[in-house]
Structure 1
Amino acid sequence: MGNSKIKGFNKSEKSIILAGQTDSKLHVYQTTDEKELIVLKSKSSDIDPTDPLLPTLEARMLLTVQDPNHSGVGIAAPQIGINRNLIWVQRFDKTDDPFEFYINPRIIWKSKLTRLGAEGCLSIPDRKEEIQRSYAIRLQYQDKKGQFIEENIEGFTAVIFQHEVDHLLGILYPDRLEEQTSAGYIELNEKIPFSLQIDKKTILP
């Protein structure tokens, strides 16, 4: 993640960012469109965290993922036609489940422990699949001053991060579905009984 090699937004990217005001959402690219699929399957590059157009893109991406007609729990820049390492993720592991913006995120570690859960995608219409994802990850990203930050994340929020970072690598979740069919997994819930220790006064539903 060397800042010396990072370039600003190109002409095409600027045209997308400036095609609307900060209070207008963006078009979400779809896998059903061949030209848009090429963008979705392309690997993204880093962006300068201090780029002056970044706040505009940030605001428009948030409006897009929170569109009540087609809302999601995360969105990556390739999904709106910009192959840059930028994502929004809803943090269900924090109070009030806030959406947070991440610049140049990378997953630098994944747990071998996985969970199986249903996933959909704003860019893939009318489809959901059960996908194996690591239960815990370590995320590295930059803040708006360019400082590097690392964080451990678990559970469903970690799944969202894995889904969105995959977008930055040109990977769509059906690719993971094909991958997991050839991988081996041990069903731990059949091998290890999990229990909750309670006291006599505890009432459980």
Structure 2
Amino acid sequence: MKLIYILLFSLPFLTFGQKFTPEEISRIMKGDVNSSLPIFQTSDSLQHTILLAKSTDVKPRNKYTKVLVSRMKSALLSTQGGVGIAAPQVGINRNIIWVQRFDRPEKPLQYFLNPKIIWRSETLNLGPEGDLSISDFRDQFYRNQIIQLEYFDLKGKKHTEIVEGFTAVIIQHEIDHLFGILITDKIKEQNLRKYRPVQVYQEIK
């Protein structure tokens, strides 16, 4: 009975990812930990390989997770007009993203640990997208207009919320990074599909 209790109590913590590797810790802690990490580019073959790799979950309470989250935010703020960033873009294949919340007052930045899209609307948005890791590339992409998202904060608390509009587009873009999907490859897949316009009506009050 005691063993069952211990297992049940430990289960929520066992579901998180593995600890950071020595190589990851070295990259996270390199230089001034209060500064931004460099943003990886597809023009560099080694960096491109990391950008194409699939990421794994992090332990929210890990001290290195907190440092990585902070340095990712600094990296995003160092850009000209960037609205989102994913951990692979700073060389760490872990499931962390930062997104500008255009759906909230003051348009704040928010981090998401181990984010997962658990539902997507059938209705799509079509709009322009670029990427901090790919210079001189921009195109039109279809994204789900509304998503339901699950994620964790640094205290290990789980959150679930509905996000729509441009903020939902940014989240989908950044989560693609966690699967090693770049928009230069995504456009090739998108061009193989067909889309039809759907009329949307609004009640007149």
TM-score in terms of structure 1 length: 0.88
CA contact (8 A) 2:125 2:143 kept: yes
Once residues 16 and 71 of structure 1 are traced to their aligned partners in structure 2, the CA distance between those partners, rounded to angstroms, is: 25
Give the SS at the match of 2:66: helix
Q: Match for 1:57: what amino acid?
A: L
Give the SS at the match of 2:92: coil
Give the SS at the match of 2:63: coil
2:76 to 56, 60, 65: 65
Once residues 74 and 28 of structure 2 are traced to their aligned partners in structure 1, the CA distance between those partners, rounded to angstroms, is: 13
1:174 CA drift (Å): 2.1
Higher helix proportion: 2
Q: How many residues align?
A: 194
CA contact (8 A) 2:66 2:154 kept: no
After superposition, give the CA deviation of every residue in 1:105-130 in whole Å (9 maximum; x if it has no partner): 11111111101100000000011010
Is 1:176 aligned with 2:176? no
TM-score in terms of structure 2 length: 0.88
1:2 CA drift (Å): 6.6
Structure 2 residues without counterparts, runs of 5 or longer: 1-10
Question: After the TM superposition, which of the residue ranges 178-187 and 30-39 deviates more from structure 2?
Answer: 178-187
Report the equivalent of 1:111.
Answer: 121
Report the equivalent of 1:50.
Answer: 61
After superposition, give the CA deviation of every residue in 1:56-108 in whole Å (9 maximum; x if it has no partner): 1111111110115x441000000000000001000000000000011111111
After superposition, give the CA deviation of every residue in 1:133-173 in whole Å (9 maximum; x if it has no partner): 11011111112222321111000000000000000001011
Counterparts of 1:145-164 in structure 2, within 5 Å, are: 145-164=155-174
Once residues 13 and 163 of structure 1 are traced to their aligned partners in structure 2, the CA distance between those partners, rounded to angstroms, is: 23
Report the equivalent of 1:31.
Answer: 42
Report the equivalent of 2:144.
Answer: 134
Percent same amino acid at aligned positions?
42
Report the equivalent of 2:3.
Answer: none
Q: What is the aligned-residue RMSD (CA, Å)?
A: 1.8
